[in-house]
Structures are given as C-alpha cells and as structure tokens.
Chains A and B, each alone.
Chain A
C-alpha cells in the first residue's frame, strides 16, 4: 500500500480526471507508459471495472478506440506528445469513418523543456493533429483540467468529433536533467 503516499503527494487533478472518465463510462484505458499519466495508469491497473491496456506504440490505441466504439463502448488513449507522431496515418480511420475519439496528451518540448530531443514533435503536436481533423484543447492549470476534459468528452461522444486534450508541460511539471 506504499502507493497511497505517492497518491497523496500527487496533484489532485489526475485523480479527478480519472474519476470523471469513469463516470462518463470509459472502461478501456490504453497507453504507452508515461510519467505524466502515471497516476491514471496506476488507477486503471488497480480498477477491476476497466481494462488497462499497455500498448507497444500509440497508433495501436487509435485503432483500439475505434474498435471499442464499434461495440458501443468507450476507450481513451493516454500518450505523450512524441506519441502523437506515431498516430498520424491511423487517424485516417477516425477522420474518414467518423469515429468519436478522445485522447489526453502530456506535453513535452514546450514550457521549460531541457531535452532538445523533445522539441521537434512537441512543437508539431497541434498543427499535425489539426491537419488530421483532431480538435485540440489545452489545459494549463490544475483547475482547467476537469472543465476541459468534460467539454472534450461531450464534443467527442455527443458531438461525434475527435478531440485531444493537451496537458501542458507547465501543468505536469518540467522534468529535470
């Protein structure tokens, strides 16, 4: 139960976001492991009511979300900004076939980034997602997260859109090197 200590120290918005997704009937959490999503990933692993699905590459999650929708369910993809680049052709499935799509992207390569390798994809996330028809919403502060995620869920699963919520590097915290 050592993880409880970790959860207490963590920003509460991650727990609130997980609870919001569960209330909105998301039962599949797909991800490539990432520090920015670690609390949500851990909660999905401990939650008997959901499938927690580790992916080898992010585009697998795009296809999984579509397959889940075909069955009448809801899946969410959690990924880092670098993973967005792996998804691009697979998003033609979402755009061309009008699947609802919701993803949360933990941003790197922006505010305060010290690793030069993160900038190319981090800075390309918004233009590349928009080019594939994905609406981008940004959350910069802890109090933004739940209202932004609520709006995104409505846009995706009532509005029938594909939506990415970009969790800003300023929100997540800058990794030290």
Chain B
C-alpha cells in the first residue's frame, strides 16, 4: 500500500491533475475581471482576486465565513439577473459547502459562474492535503448536483473552453481549475468586510440605475 494511503495513490494515477500554474491559468480563465461582479472565498482566492481586480469595487472578498462564497453568489445572481456574477473559490472552501452546489443546481441561474481553483491542499494553513488530492472530484459533485455546464481545466489545452464557459453560459457554469499547490497572485488588500460591503453595494446600485 502507498504510504500516503489508497486515496493518494488513486489521485497520483490521475495525471495530469495539479500541474497548472495558478498565477497563469486563473487570469487566463477569468480574462477581463471588470466584466464580472466577483465574490471570492477566503485565503488563496481572496488574494488572487484582490490582485486581479486591483481591489476593485466589483469585488467582494471573504476573509472568513468559510463555505459562504457560492451561496453569496447565488443571492447576488438572483437579485441582479442582468449582471454576470463570478464566484472564485478554492477546494477547501467548497468542500465545506458541497450542499450549496445542490441548492444552486435546483435553480441554475444563467448569470452565475463558479470557478474552483483546486490545488488539492489547504494552502493558508500550511499546505495540508485536502480531500481532492485524496481522490475526491468536485466537478463530479457539481454534475451530480444538476449544475448544467461543468468542466475541468487540467491542461493548457482546456483553458479556452473553460474561459468560454465562465462567460457565455445560458445556465450556471462550474469550472474546476486543477492547479499546482503553490501560492497564487497576491496584492495588499483590506480584510474589512464591512467597508467592502459598502463599496461593492454602492457600485452595484450605481450600475443598476435605470438609464
């Protein structure tokens, strides 16, 4: 038996997962961040999206409340059906709220896209292995939840399809980016969620005013 356990051996057999460089693949998948209203989960995705939006008013980043990201995106998508909502989160955050995929799958709002940056580890707490590096496949959860459009981006050849899915879907899209366990983009950003709420909400209301 593999010393890391049966699950680890199974995951290692699944080449080429966990190979892509997240500092390249996440920007390639998201493209112009200002085209979306973005909610991120905590930790790696938080810093990454703060960097990609340059702490923009179209970005609400979670510094805690692990498991909140997808459902915040759903609430936002249902409230503003004319706006494209993007949730960016990690495998650890999403593993804590797999039920929210089931809830989203019952509704499938077309203006909601979810990008899960799966590095198979809890990067923020010292890169302990997560369930996804032990054989768990979150894309299959999303499929089983009834989310209409899903894909895994594990090689550079998969990127154009993933990028298209995040932008052009007529139902909720779920894209799993399988990346190497190393830190992503980072920029100095405030963890003040109350200030961020006011900034995001004001920008959203200003952008939603009838012309």
Which residue in B67, B68, B107, B205 is a CB contact (below 8 Å) of A53? B107
B60 at the interface (CB under 8 A from A): yes
Q: Given the complex, which residues of B lie within 8 Å of A56, measured CB to CB?
A: 99-100, 102-103
Instruction: Give bound CA distance, A63 to B65, whole Å.
Output: 9
The residues of B that contact A126 with a CB separation of less than 8 Å are none
| Distance between B195 CB and nearest chain A CB, rounded to angstroms | 9
- CB–CB A28/B65 < 8 A: no
Are B102 and A28 in contact, CB atoms less than 8 angstroms apart? no
Interface with B: A16-24, A87-95, A136-144, which one?
Answer: A87-95
Closest to A94 in B: B65
Is A112 an interface position by the 8 A CB rule? no
Q: Which of B39-87 contact A (CB under 8 A)?
A: 39, 60, 62, 64-76, 78-80, 83
Contact residue among B65, B75, B106, B107 (Cβ-Cβ distance under 8 Å from A71): B75
Asked whether A71 lies within 8 Å of B100 as measured between CB atoms, the reply is no
Q: Are B103 and A54 in contact (CB under 8 A)?
A: yes
Q: Once bound together, how far apart are the Cα atoms of A83 and B68, in whole Å?
A: 16
Interface size class on chain B is 35 or more
Top 7 closest A-B pairs, CB basis?
A67-B75, A71-B79, A56-B99, A67-B72, A97-B193, A73-B79, A63-B71
Residues of B within 8 A of A57 (CB): 99
Contact B103 A55 (CB under 8 A): yes
Asked whether, in the complex, the Cβ of A60 is within 8 Å of the Cβ of B97, the reply is yes
Residues of B within 8 A of A72 (CB): 79-80, 201, 204-205, 208
> Judging by beta carbons under 8 Å apart, are B100 and A97 in contact?
no
Judge whether A63 and B204 touch: CB under 8 Å: no
Q: Could you tell me how many residues of chain A have their Cβ less than 8 Å away from some Cβ of chain B? A: 32
- Whether the pair B76, A68 counts as a contact (CB closer than 8 A) is yes
Given contacts A53-B107, A98-B194, contact A60 B99 (CB under 8 A): yes
B164 beta carbon closer than 8 Å to chain A: no
Q: Is A59 an interface residue (CB 8 A)?
A: yes
- Name B87's closest neighbour in chain A (CB-CB): A67
Give CA–CA (A68, B196) in the complex, Å.
15
Bound-state Cα–Cα, A70 to B97, Å: 20
Q: Would B193 and A96 count as touching, CB distance under 8 A?
A: yes
Find chain A residues with CB under 8 A from B75 CB: 28, 63-71, 73, 75
B141 part of interface (Cβ distance < 8 Å): no
- Asked if A104 is an interface residue, CB under 8 A from chain B, the answer is no
**Could you tell me the distance between the alpha carbons of A60 and B104 in the complex, rounded to whole angstroms?**
10
In contact, A96 and B68 (Cβ under 8 angstroms) = no
Chain A 8-22 per-residue mask, 1 if CB under 8 angstroms from chain B, else 0: 000000000000000
**B6 interfacial contact with A, CB 8 Å:** no
Tell me whether A43 is interfacial, beta carbon within 8 Å: no
Residue B24, interface by CB 8 Å: no
11 A–B contacts from the bound complex (CB under 8 Å): A28-B78, A51-B107, A59-B67, A60-B103, A62-B68, A69-B201, A70-B204, A71-B79, A72-B79, A72-B205, A73-B80
Chain A residues whose CB sits within 8 angstroms of the CB of B62 once the complex forms: 93
Please tell me if the beta carbons of B107 and A66 are within 8 angstroms of each other in the complex: no
What CA separation (Å) do A93 and B204 show in the bound complex?
Answer: 19
Whether B65 and A93, one on each chain, are in contact in the complex, defined by CB atoms closer than 8 angstroms, is: yes
CA distance A138 to B105 in the complex (A): 35
